[in-house]
Structure 1
Amino acid sequence: MQVAELFRPVLGDEAPVAIRAYDGSASTPSAADPVATVDVRSETALAYLAASPNSLGLARAYVSGHLDVEGSLYQALTAMSELTVSDVTPSTLLRMAARMAPLRFRHRVAPPPEEHRQRGRRHSKDRDSTAIEHHYDVSNRFYELVLGPSMAYTCAVYPSETATLEDAQFTKHALVAEKLDLQPGMRLLDVGCGWGQMAMHAAEHHGVQALGVTLSRDQATWAQKEVARRGLGDLVEIRHSDYRDVSEGDFDAVSSIGLTEHIGRRNISSYFRFLYAKLRPGGRLLNHCITRPDHHHRAAADPFIDRYVFPDGELLPIGWLISRMNAAGFEIRHEENLREHYSRTLAGWSANLEEHWDACVEEAGEGRARVWRLYMPACQVGFDVNNIQLHQVLGIKLGPDARSGFPLRPAY
């Protein structure tokens, strides 16, 4: 069978994507004009697919450069969003596996070096540290190029259709600060603080004493230098630490922006109990995280995301998370879904990557840059079609008199 015909069931028989292969074969969609062309460049691409006939096999072929996409990768992934490998019927997968079996044994290839496999007990401190190191300790310059001046690697909040990525990231930090009701002299704990932007925002704009903790040594080093550059050393401390090792308590507020996805289902209850214990009575928690829309969507990350992007990541339904947060003692005061905002955020990061492609490759290597070129539009499609969501949940640790201190109608 010609290679293009072999690939067609993987991408979807009706998907408006053309296929061109190294053996000279080609396949064009019958239902519509193609939005992109998948170029199968070598037999190695088939070998990867034969070994893993799912998104992991395709990702290996793409990351290694043995498969490429001409045209918009976002449009191509959107076209295939309802006909992904995970939706290929078992009978089709069996036929493909049988046809590719000889190739699998004739042409053995190792995964690209960018692939990472975790070792040790899941969500132990050592294993979590290794997972964070894999994704974040790449190159601070690489992240500067992709994320832009805001250096915020979490969903932005777009105040308008025309807002820039930088405007939206500032709006996100301002929204978190407003929900936490940050006031001069308060103490904020920012867990999973990244490059420290929330902690610095709280100090600069609200006069707050902030402690940020991150498992990434590179993030901590960059943030510490930025704190010094901005003259915020009296207000902000950035610590290279596991959040579980924070010994201080009696904080007025806790922000958790993009950390819950790394905690794991088994540890969520203890996570919220830990944060509850860190707050004074009347203190607030703002939890900002990616979720799955319901119990029917899988919690485990896509194999490509797990091996190349966020090892050990788990996405949980928002209702389940809220119930665990509530069970830890928090009164839930506000919740909102920002999934459309994350789609825009990812589009902004993808645009930055393309604009600075050569510099990104020089910093992190072509394989790593290709991981990002694939995973960001793939996640953007996920938010577009509601396979994944982004929620902010605000809770409070009530005092003995059960007073919340909230206004009757908060502005947000």
Structure 2
Amino acid sequence: MTTEVGVRLSIADALGRLMKDGLPFRFEAFDGSVAGPVDAPFTLRLLNERGLAYLMTAPGDLGFARAYVAGDLELDGIHPGDPYEAMVLIMSQLRFKVPSAAEMLQIVRSLGFGNLKPPPPPAEEHLPKWRRALEGMRHNKRRDADAIQHHYDVSNRFYELVLGPSMTYTCAVFPTADATLEQAQHEKYDLIARKLDLKPGQRLLDVGCGWGGMVRHAAKHYGVKALGVTLSREQAAWAQEEIKRQGLEDLAEVRYGDYRDVTEDGFDALSSIGMTEHIGVKQYDEYFGFLQSRIKVGGRLLNHCITRPNNKITTTGAFIDRYVFPDGELTGVGRITMAAQDAGLEVRHVENLREHYALTLKGWTDNLVANWDEALQEVTVGRAKVWGIYMAGSRLAFERNEIELHHVLAVKTDEKGNASWPLRPTWLS
């Protein structure tokens, strides 16, 4: 393909030069240029030069997110709380090509060399990795606390609107396809309780406990004395109020602090629900070693976390790292089971629940759409847009098996190998 280098391209023409098969959506730019089918299900509008500069200086998901969160890029025909359908179309039909050096020069010259200077990122964006590195090595206590607070200390009321009454920000378990989100979250906690074989009078430690859902469930339905720990001050305050409201103070406690500062041991059971994603793969051995040290012989551990379909160590993408989970890392269930085994635990059961997480995310986005106006009273429109993109994209990733959700159930045997384990699983009955 030959290119007339001296010809100035419109923004739509420049975008067209980067497409293999054309655009699956309608595109309109502030210079008046348009591209894509007129009858497309949605329209993407680039409103100004700042948005163009975001796209040019951070190609891919980060640049798109910056322009969209800042309000410089609009999706017409799609609710900002649930851009799932748009993401399905983009991910399935949008194909980029690598332009020649001459084409690239023409594109950049047409769009303006001045737009290669990155604008300040939106206020919702977290610090880049090199700036976070000034706070010390990944996953030290200070840096972990900062990362958790960036995501969770937003607004408890906002989380209530998105998550629903259970205030549970982890994968639910749907007993039937038509179960409500609340029914599925109750089933998730109960499944974990059954897998841990909880009984009245036992002690449970829940690390990374969020708003205390597992702690309250174990105390209320199983008579267990439960301790939860979270690095989010907002979560701990909400959880303690809810424990008090339900009259569970004698059995349940949620503590603000680092799990590594828990000095109690001899727990009958330990749950780690949505925690492993935050600690870093290199810390797995230390993490599972700590958990093993906190349960008694015969005690069980249930680890519930997002995984990859392979055992490579992967950091999250640029958008997730800057806007959702700074310093997040994922790997496959094989590495998790290996770390548990190396810590002296016997792995007895593994279960993949990824389809359940896709359903969970759909429930959360439905809540966000239904409560959009009230949500904007709690957070910026940019923050709400971040949640819409993040949840819709994650739903799609679970559906496509790009990420998974695993339960790993393990036990601490005695020195003779006695696991105090039934011949067949009892939690299925």
**Which TM-score band (shorter chain)?**
over 0.9
Which of residues 370, 373, 376 in structure 2 aligns to 1:358? 373
Question: Aligned residue for 1:122?
Answer: 138
Any unmatched runs of 5+ in structure 2? 1-8
Question: Aligned residue for 2:402?
Answer: 387
Amino acid aligned to 2:10: Q
C-alpha distance in structure 2 between counterparts of 1:245 and 1:290, whole Å: 24
C-alpha distance in structure 2 between counterparts of 1:204 and 1:23, whole Å: 61
What's the offset of the Cα at 1:322? 1.2
What's the offset of the Cα at 1:401? 2.6
> SS of the counterpart of 2:269?
strand
Question: Aligned residue for 2:28?
Answer: 20
> SS of the counterpart of 1:400?
coil
Judge which range, 172-181 or 319-328, deviates more: 319-328
TM value normalised by structure 2:
0.90
Q: Are 2:53 and 1:47 equivalent residues in the alignment?
A: yes
Question: Aligned residue for 2:163?
Answer: 147
C-alpha distance in structure 2 between counterparts of 1:258 and 1:128, whole Å: 14
Q: Are 2:115 and 1:109 equivalent residues in the alignment?
A: no
What's the offset of the Cα at 1:13? 3.2
Question: Aligned residue for 1:76?
Answer: 86
> SS of the counterpart of 1:80?
helix
Amino acid aligned to 1:141: R
- The one-character-per-residue Cα deviations of 1:262-314 (angstroms, maximum 9, x if unpaired) are 01011011101110011100111100000111146x61101000000000000
Question: Aligned residue for 1:134?
Answer: 150
Query: What root-mean-square deviation, in Å, do the aligned CA atoms of Structure 1 and Structure 2 show?
Result: 2.2
Pick the structure with greater CA Rg. Answer: 2
Contact 1:189–1:253 (CA under 8 A) maintained in structure 2: yes
Task: Decide whether aligned partners of structure 1 residues 192 and 381 sit closer, same or farther in structure 2, where only a CA change above 3 A counts.
Answer: same
Judge which range, 266-275 or 10-19, deviates more: 10-19
Contact 2:226–2:253 (CA under 8 A) maintained in structure 1: yes
- The one-character-per-residue Cα deviations of 1:214-249 (angstroms, maximum 9, x if unpaired) are 000000000011111111000011100100100100
C-alpha distance in structure 2 between counterparts of 1:9 and 1:253, whole Å: 58
C-alpha distance in structure 2 between counterparts of 1:245 and 1:93, whole Å: 55
Question: Aligned residue for 2:107?
Answer: 99
Q: Are 2:362 and 1:347 equivalent residues in the alignment?
A: yes
Which of residues 245, 248, 262 in structure 2 aligns to 1:232? 248
C-alpha distance in structure 2 between counterparts of 1:213 and 1:65, whole Å: 37
What's the offset of the Cα at 1:43? 2.1
Contact 1:156–1:172 (CA under 8 A) maintained in structure 2: yes
Task: Decide whether aligned partners of structure 1 residues 332 and 39 sit closer, same or farther in structure 2, where only a CA change above 3 A counts.
Answer: same
Question: Aligned residue for 2:193?
Answer: 177
C-alpha distance in structure 2 between counterparts of 1:216 and 1:402, whole Å: 38
Amino acid aligned to 1:381: L
Task: Decide whether aligned partners of structure 1 residues 200 and 16 sit closer, same or farther in structure 2, where only a CA change above 3 A counts.
Answer: same
Task: Decide whether aligned partners of structure 1 residues 169 and 7 sit closer, same or farther in structure 2, where only a CA change above 3 A counts.
Answer: farther
C-alpha distance in structure 2 between counterparts of 1:9 and 1:245, whole Å: 56
- The one-character-per-residue Cα deviations of 1:128-179 (angstroms, maximum 9, x if unpaired) are 0000110000010010111000100000011111111101100100000010
Q: Are 2:237 and 1:221 equivalent residues in the alignment?
A: yes
TM value normalised by structure 1:
0.93
C-alpha distance in structure 2 between counterparts of 1:303 and 1:334, whole Å: 34
Amino acid aligned to 2:50: T
Question: Aligned residue for 1:166?
Answer: 182
> SS of the counterpart of 1:364?
coil
- The one-character-per-residue Cα deviations of 1:42-77 (angstroms, maximum 9, x if unpaired) are 222210011111210000011111112123421111
Question: Aligned residue for 1:251?
Answer: 267
Any unmatched runs of 5+ in structure 1? none
C-alpha distance in structure 2 between counterparts of 1:290 and 1:192, whole Å: 14
Alignment of 1:272-311 (within 5 A): 272-295=288-311, 299-311=314-326
Judge which range, 323-332 or 194-203, deviates more: 323-332
C-alpha distance in structure 2 between counterparts of 1:198 and 1:388, whole Å: 24
C-alpha distance in structure 2 between counterparts of 1:58 and 1:283, whole Å: 47
Contact 1:42–1:66 (CA under 8 A) maintained in structure 2: yes
C-alpha distance in structure 1 between counterparts of 2:184 and 2:103, whole Å: 48
C-alpha distance in structure 2 between counterparts of 1:224 and 1:177, whole Å: 21
Task: Decide whether aligned partners of structure 1 residues 108 and 314 sit closer, same or farther in structure 2, where only a CA change above 3 A counts.
Answer: closer
Contact 1:12–1:80 (CA under 8 A) maintained in structure 2: no
Task: Decide whether aligned partners of structure 1 residues 7 and 158 sit closer, same or farther in structure 2, where only a CA change above 3 A counts.
Answer: farther
C-alpha distance in structure 2 between counterparts of 1:178 and 1:98, whole Å: 63
C-alpha distance in structure 2 between counterparts of 1:315 and 1:145, whole Å: 28
Contact 2:311–2:333 (CA under 8 A) maintained in structure 1: no
C-alpha distance in structure 2 between counterparts of 1:216 and 1:333, whole Å: 32
What's the offset of the Cα at 1:100? 3.5
Q: Are 2:381 and 1:373 equivalent residues in the alignment?
A: no
Task: Decide whether aligned partners of structure 1 residues 195 and 37 sit closer, same or farther in structure 2, where only a CA change above 3 A counts.
Answer: same
Contact 2:22–2:36 (CA under 8 A) maintained in structure 1: no
What's the offset of the Cα at 1:80? 2.2
Contact 1:51–1:104 (CA under 8 A) maintained in structure 2: no
Amino acid aligned to 1:306: D
Amino acid aligned to 2:86: A
> SS of the counterpart of 2:309?
coil
